[in-house]
Structure 1
Amino acid sequence: MKKRILLFIIGILMTLNLGNNISYAENNGKVIFISINRTSLDEMLSIDRIKEELDSRGYIGLMNIRGSKGTSDIRSYASIGWGSRAYLNYRNIQFETLNESNKDEYIRRSGKKPKYINNLNINNTKSDAAIGEYGALPGALGMEIRNNNLKLAVLGNADTDSEQRREICLIAMDENGQIEKGNISSIDVEDGLMPFGIRTDYEKLINETKKYYDESDLLFIELGDTYRLDLYRNKLNSNTYNSMKEKIYANINNYLNEVFKIVNPNDRIYIVSPYPRLEDFRTGYRLSPVIIFDKDEKGILTSSTTRRKGVVGNIDIAPDILNYFGQESNAMLGRNIDRISMDNNIDFLTYEYEKIVSTYNIRIPTLYTYAVFQMITWIISVIFIFLRKKISKKLFNIPINILKFTMIIPFALLVEPILNLNSEISIIAVALLMSLIGYFIVHKLVKDDLNKIILLSTLTFIGILVDAATGQNMIKNSLLGYDPIIGARYYGIGNEYMGVLIGSIILALSSLFEKKKISRLLLSIVLLVCVIILGYPKMGANVGGTITAVFAFLFLIMKIYEIEVDIKKIVLIMCAVVLVVTAMALIDINFIGSKSHLAGAIEDIIIGGPIIILQIIRRKLEMNLRLIGISMWSRVLILGVIIVGVLFNKPSGILKSLCEVYPSIAKGWQAIIVGSVVGFVVNDSGVVAAATSISYVIVPVLVLIMKDIVKSKSQD
């Protein structure tokens, strides 16, 4: 009797499992990934079949191509397949179709039984990947596909007449560099009128696509010709280039017509350019197009990696493919790609792309100019202070007003994106105009210089906090923010504005407390709100900034409450830092699930162990050391430190006297300096945060010293 009951239960479970498989098959089809490498967004949208499909369905987006330690075709392909930013050099891959001559070679090198396609250099591939900063696992997608009993095949290459270009295999291979089936070596034909005398054999590719579509769950296809054309471009004139390009895209269009004939309604098709054209890359168009055809829906792409409409990371493709099959991988840093319904998706994306590129192209020149302008103003002001006896009091108003003007620039750069401009000239012109108009209004409404500084600082920190709490729509597009092309950060409060925020809020609150406009309690509450917004994963999402803020804010609070800051207090501050950061991580992991940088780091440490902590520390140190040598912000920081050091000693007692007149503001300056030191140590680009925060010490110090000089001259 018991045996019959057991068999009955097993039968029910098998039926339910079979039912689940049937349901899965009904609701999901197959995935086809088509690589049209070195293709721009405009070129992809000009392909007739793609354009025809996009009229009624399809999601489009722009993909960040960043790998580990820079960008290249091979690193983007690897990042797509491994779900993490990958480091890899071309010489360290060699994908071959199995034959008698390479069979023993692969076994000898790997100790594994070969499959139909094998990476003979798999050991070098793994060694390269280990040098990367993000712990990418080679073959992560292929491994998950194999482990879940799904079938995968690869077709095509981008070989030239002198070298193999089979990066498409990096997406599909497993951790042993193996691919079960496909055709990567006999898919091209000689054609003397095409780049390198080679082109893809589209007739054969169509037949192979039909064959492997029936046999596989996933099919990865490299069309190859667009890549060869871009490599060969410098050998062509405009006529020959355009002629070849027209033929290539006509062939691609015909191929896509056949693909769309054979697919089923439940299939998902990815059409991706893993890397942009070199000409586009040089002119700032460094995001690559991604199109996903998924049933009959239409819109744009985004992901929790970027939290930005129309933009995804190359590391998001593999998790999205796995999600289609109901799977996931803990080895991947990328996130599933989200779809946002939008009828005018093409117009939206093209406008956004122009805005992104314009911001990218003028960002460094603008910030360089701003930094140099700051430094020149600081140096002139110090010279005025040392030559105060030889300079008339009227001339002092020039550097004083310029110094105060520099304080409104971060606020102007923050609010300029409200106008949603997308041309370089308009962005610069409006930012400058806003700065001038804003300063003129403040100058006319407020007479006292310290009150002007307080107002400008207050506007700045409130603007940053409000924007961070409401989706960072201004910071995301600000010249002082960050951009999706660089891809160091996509959301939250970046290090530039983190430094500005910490400097401006400490200066504003300590000055208001000096003037007895706020109480100790209110000061502490505002700082607490700032920490929450700065660290909360859905808002500021800045781990290093949170650590910096807790250190600097607790230091200020202790000073305001007349508590001596000794070793024990520093230990308590460090404990508070750990508590706050841990709380933010737990909130994200257990309640929000937004997968912020902090949550991702905690999960990586749990999975990878203590070595992940060492990788994070190494990455931060490497970034800061690199920036010290090349960043203009490092010069700003060094100059700021020198000025503070000089004014402590000469003119004799001048800074000490100022601190005695404004004791609470002086405590704020000390807290900013503490924040600059901590920010420098705990952030990837800490030199930037330290430089932008220390200006909130230098500017008020110089202004107040010169105002005191002017006052004393008036009394003479």
Structure 2
Amino acid sequence: MRKRGFLGRNIIGIMIVILSCLAVWGCLPVKLYASSVDENRWFEQVVLVAIPGFSFMELEPAVLEEMPNLQRLVKQSGFAAMNIRTQKRQMSDVYVSLGAGANAVGMAGVQTFGAKELWGGASALELMNRYSGKPAFNVGEVLVPQVHVLDKANKNSFSNASPGTLGESLKQHGVLRMVLGSSDLGITFEDPKKLRRYAAQMLMDRAGGVDRGVIGNDALMASVDRPFGVKTDYKHLLSVMEEESNQKRVVLLELGDLYRLYADRDSYSAERFVQLKLEILQELDECLGVIAGGISKEGVMWIFSPEVGVDAVKEKAFLAPVIRYSADMEGGVRAGLLVSETTRRVGVIAYTDLSASLLTEFGIRIPKEMTGQSVEMVSQKRDSKWLISDVSAMQTIYRLRLKLLLAFATYEVIVLLLCLVFMVFIGFRPYAGMGIGKEWAVKACRICLLTILAAPCVMLVMGLWIKPLLFAVGRGAVLGWMYAGFVLVVLVGAYLLQRVKLLSALSLLAWIVSVMILTDGLTGAYAMRYSVLSYDPMIGARYYGIGNELMGVLIGALLLAVTVSLQRWHIRLAAGTPTAASGASGARAPSALLCAALLACAVFALVTVYLAAPSLGANAGGALSAAIAFGAAGTCCCAGKSLRELRWSRVVTLLAALLAVGLLALWLLNSADSPAAAGRESHVGRAFHALREGQFDQLRELIVRKLRMNRHLIGVSAWSKVLITSLFVMAVLVLRPRGRLVLWQNKYPYLMYGFAANTLGAIAALLLNDSGIVAAATLIVYVAVPMLLLRLEEEQSQRLASLHKSSASHSS
């Protein structure tokens, strides 16, 4: 027998050394950023400028040149893209969520009024008294009479958020709250269709009041040449801002002219729309210049957008710009990009981080009901131009994801079903019509099946293409290049792999996929950041760690890689093992395989640690799924045939023990005392922190949210079709013809161990993740596709054997 080289003999051991070094390096508590925003610096004045309809499309160079004040602020401030995706994707949701500091539900019919403003024959103060049944004295000048409607809506929602948390915290610490302006669609005379007064719901307290304010008609002035015949009365609002400026306060100024323009866009010609938009932006710019000029060293200004315009929505540019400006250059503030522990992505924050940061500006502790974290400033060379190009890349990936993943999932279903029909119902029978039994059909089936296994690797690598392609071909042509590159690379790779022996091809492909995902994840996850199969900052699905799609791919590919490698080694050792009569060296085979299985268990353990570590994978459901799948595979590979004699009760006990080990690993790696979690608490760590403090209601809400998400995805996601199709294919291959499962267990024992472990992992991923249907679907194909390839290999071998036998009989 030919001797293998050093690399072939020690491939699993080399993998362990590499992964160990990378895991230790990756678990070190190193931050992605250096300096915090005004560290240990508290302010007395915070000005919030909300511009509905504002997006990154208004920050393109040609537009920004017309706004010199904003251009200066972007260059001299903290700058970021903010995710404003809420459940119903409405501006009312965003303002209520900002006030709750968590994902909350807003209602279009719940509006804000001045305390003395009449509505339905009663003042807002009288309405509040009517709805609450209590005299509302000293509530404030601006009121939300139906605040209890918001409370009820959020208690019945999946998030159970508390509207008014931000305003209540500010109120308790003596911070004056002021709201100015609105986005009403014209002068309102008790016409609810014109009301767009949600801004106060960001700063209202739990009772629904804001201390001071000018909203509605008082904030507007007639202008016949503007949308709905009104425009913002900038002069009046700026003069009101000067009142009580010596107090500790926060002022929210909503400038709604751009919103009104987009709301009435269909009424204008294209030329007139562009002209009006430029006028409105220039007025906004002048107002921002005045406000910035009035910011003292005790003040800070935030500019943000609660809703992007319709043009941005059409282009899938859902991230909104957010700017933080301070005149205190001695406090450590420099121009740069903002980031938070919520996202861990330079230049990207969540809207809940804005709420948390406002409290931090005043030195107020963030309440436990709020899910966001205070932002920090990046002290790197990245600037606003880099962020705008990065947002463009995220936007392109989002547009690509919507079409590519749906097309790929549909392709998977079609290929699995067609290959199943070909092999089981048509096969290689000589009377099959239209030449189906020819070699080209076999090759086509093999190539198509291998493309399914190779595609996730190419999707990961595509994350490295996006920015160079954007620079080379521009935003308009980049999608076409990405589609063409994906199809070409996948087909070429599959064509080359189908020329190799089946087990060698499966081993090579699975190892490449596993190693690439782990290497990228352990070295900063740069490819994942821009992969269509990973993060989605546009909708806030995931900002860091490993996503459920790639988590499923990693578990499935690694199990396939290890078990196929062990199976190949088993075949080699069985072929080269001498009989008992020829010597005692035959005992080397089982011991060598046992050592290899133990090494494989070490690889499994390291990957589980990667998935559980908050500085690395940060995927709790993935870690638990991996613990079950890898634990089952390791036990099978080490115990061998003796495991088949275990009763079901012991199998269940084994699975429970593996789940307990996974939970223990999560607890240890995400505890506050863990070096892997130092300064890097993930959402998993916060869940354990809530458990330690007895906040079982938050954990219950977490579980309910995951179940609701899975139920929703099963009905609408294309991945559910992939999962169902894969399970159907597996069932048919096992049951038709009978006895095949026993045959494969004897012929390919290690491969079958991997299939069983992958199936257990898919079930665990489905149950333990909030989008488990996605993880289960990407994982289970690493069972269904290899089973089809095995069946194809067997049918072709039987056909060739039959042809040789037939030719031998004819020749005789």
Tell me the TM-score normalised to structure 2 length.
0.81
SS of alignment partner, residue 229 of structure 1 = helix
1:57 is matched with 76
Out of 78, 81, 96, the residue aligned to residue 78 of structure 1 is 96
- Counterparts in 2 of 1:643 and 1:182: CA distance versus 1, 3 Å: same
SS of alignment partner, residue 293 of structure 1 = strand
Out of 164, 171, 186, the residue aligned to residue 202 of structure 2 is 171
- Counterparts in 2 of 1:487 and 1:56: CA distance versus 1, 3 Å: closer
Please report how far the alpha carbon of residue 513 of structure 1 lies from its aligned counterpart in structure 2 after TM superposition.
Answer: 1.7
In structure 1, how many angstroms separate the alpha carbons of the residues matched to 2:316 and 2:388? 14
Counterparts of 1:322-333 in structure 2, within 5 Å, are 322-329=359-366, 330-333=368-371
| 1:202 and 2:237 aligned | no
Which amino acid in 2 is paired with 1:488? A
Please report how far the alpha carbon of residue 159 of structure 1 lies from its aligned counterpart in structure 2 after TM superposition.
Answer: 1.5
In structure 1, how many angstroms separate the alpha carbons of the residues matched to 2:158 and 2:111? 19
Which amino acid in 2 is paired with 1:347? K
Q: Tell me the alpha carbon deviations over residues 59-91 of structure 1, each in whole angstroms, 9 at most, x when there is no partner.
A: 221111112x23111111222232211111111
Which amino acid in 2 is paired with 1:597? H
Which entry has the higher C-alpha Rg, 1 or 2?
2
Bigger drift between 380-389 and 697-706 goes to: 380-389
Out of 101, 121, 124, the residue aligned to residue 123 of structure 2 is 101
1:432 is matched with 487
- Counterparts in 2 of 1:155 and 1:347: CA distance versus 1, 3 Å: same
Q: Tell me the alpha carbon deviations over residues 241-277 of structure 1, each in whole angstroms, 9 at most, x when there is no partner.
A: 2333233222222222221222113421111111100
Structure 2: gaps spanning 5 or more residues: 1-37, 430-435, 471-477, 570-592, 803-812
Bigger drift between 626-635 and 649-658 goes to: 649-658
Contact 2:428 2:795 in 1 (8 A): no
Please report how far the alpha carbon of residue 56 of structure 1 lies from its aligned counterpart in structure 2 after TM superposition.
Answer: 4.8
In structure 1, how many angstroms separate the alpha carbons of the residues matched to 2:408 and 2:342? 30
Contact 1:511 1:665 in 2 (8 A): yes
Counterparts of 1:492-511 in structure 2, within 5 Å, are 492-511=545-564
- Counterparts in 2 of 1:392 and 1:438: CA distance versus 1, 3 Å: closer
Please report how far the alpha carbon of residue 55 of structure 1 lies from its aligned counterpart in structure 2 after TM superposition.
Answer: 6.8
SS of alignment partner, residue 213 of structure 1 = coil
In structure 1, how many angstroms separate the alpha carbons of the residues matched to 2:799 and 2:103? 61
| 1:665 and 2:751 aligned | yes
Which amino acid in 1 is paired with 2:263? L
Contact 2:613 2:666 in 1 (8 A): no
In structure 2, how many angstroms separate the alpha carbons of the residues matched to 1:389 and 1:142? 73
Please report how far the alpha carbon of residue 483 of structure 1 lies from its aligned counterpart in structure 2 after TM superposition.
Answer: 1.3
Which amino acid in 1 is paired with 2:480? I
In structure 2, how many angstroms separate the alpha carbons of the residues matched to 1:342 and 1:125? 42
1:11 is matched with none
2:400 is matched with 362
Which amino acid in 2 is paired with 1:321? L
Please report how far the alpha carbon of residue 33 of structure 1 lies from its aligned counterpart in structure 2 after TM superposition.
Answer: 0.6
1:703 is matched with 789
- Counterparts in 2 of 1:41 and 1:364: CA distance versus 1, 3 Å: closer
Please report how far the alpha carbon of residue 301 of structure 1 lies from its aligned counterpart in structure 2 after TM superposition.
Answer: 1.9
2:411 is matched with 373
Bigger drift between 203-212 and 641-650 goes to: 203-212
Please report how far the alpha carbon of residue 670 of structure 1 lies from its aligned counterpart in structure 2 after TM superposition.
Answer: 0.5
Counterparts of 1:430-469 in structure 2, within 5 Å, are 430-439=485-494, 442=497, 447-469=500-522
Which amino acid in 1 is paired with 2:76? R
Contact 2:340 2:349 in 1 (8 A): yes
Please report how far the alpha carbon of residue 546 of structure 1 lies from its aligned counterpart in structure 2 after TM superposition.
Answer: 0.9
| 1:405 and 2:485 aligned | no
Please report how far the alpha carbon of residue 537 of structure 1 lies from its aligned counterpart in structure 2 after TM superposition.
Answer: 0.7
Which amino acid in 2 is paired with 1:209? M
Counterparts of 1:97-246 in structure 2, within 5 Å, are 97-98=115-116, 101-110=123-132, 111=134, 112-113=136-137, 114-161=139-186, 162=191, 163-185=194-216, 186-246=218-278
- Counterparts in 2 of 1:587 and 1:29: CA distance versus 1, 3 Å: closer
Q: Tell me the alpha carbon deviations over residues 580-634 of structure 1, each in whole angstroms, 9 at most, x when there is no partner.
A: 2222331588842323121232344566832222222221121111111111111
In structure 1, how many angstroms separate the alpha carbons of the residues matched to 2:673 and 2:443? 50
2:8 is matched with none
In structure 2, how many angstroms separate the alpha carbons of the residues matched to 1:228 and 1:572? 60
2:719 is matched with 633
In structure 2, how many angstroms separate the alpha carbons of the residues matched to 1:650 and 1:711? 18
Please report how far the alpha carbon of residue 116 of structure 1 lies from its aligned counterpart in structure 2 after TM superposition.
Answer: 2.0
In structure 1, how many angstroms separate the alpha carbons of the residues matched to 2:629 and 2:40? 57
In structure 2, how many angstroms separate the alpha carbons of the residues matched to 1:299 and 1:130? 39
2:45 is matched with 30
2:350 is matched with 313
In structure 1, how many angstroms separate the alpha carbons of the residues matched to 2:567 and 2:673? 38
- Counterparts in 2 of 1:338 and 1:589: CA distance versus 1, 3 Å: farther
Bigger drift between 487-496 and 375-384 goes to: 375-384
Contact 2:158 2:701 in 1 (8 A): yes
In structure 2, how many angstroms separate the alpha carbons of the residues matched to 1:109 and 1:322? 30
1:519 is matched with 596
Please report how far the alpha carbon of residue 304 of structure 1 lies from its aligned counterpart in structure 2 after TM superposition.
Answer: 1.4
In structure 1, how many angstroms separate the alpha carbons of the residues matched to 2:674 and 2:183? 42
Which amino acid in 2 is paired with 1:573? L
In structure 2, how many angstroms separate the alpha carbons of the residues matched to 1:314 and 1:26? 22
- Counterparts in 2 of 1:683 and 1:26: CA distance versus 1, 3 Å: closer
Contact 1:588 1:594 in 2 (8 A): no
1:392 is matched with 437
SS of alignment partner, residue 488 of structure 1 = coil
Contact 2:184 2:195 in 1 (8 A): yes
Please report how far the alpha carbon of residue 437 of structure 1 lies from its aligned counterpart in structure 2 after TM superposition.
Answer: 4.5
Q: Tell me the alpha carbon deviations over residues 531-551 of structure 1, each in whole angstroms, 9 at most, x when there is no partner.
A: 000111111111111111111
Structure 1: gaps spanning 5 or more residues: 1-22
Contact 2:292 2:301 in 1 (8 A): no
Contact 1:323 1:336 in 2 (8 A): yes
- Counterparts in 2 of 1:180 and 1:705: CA distance versus 1, 3 Å: same
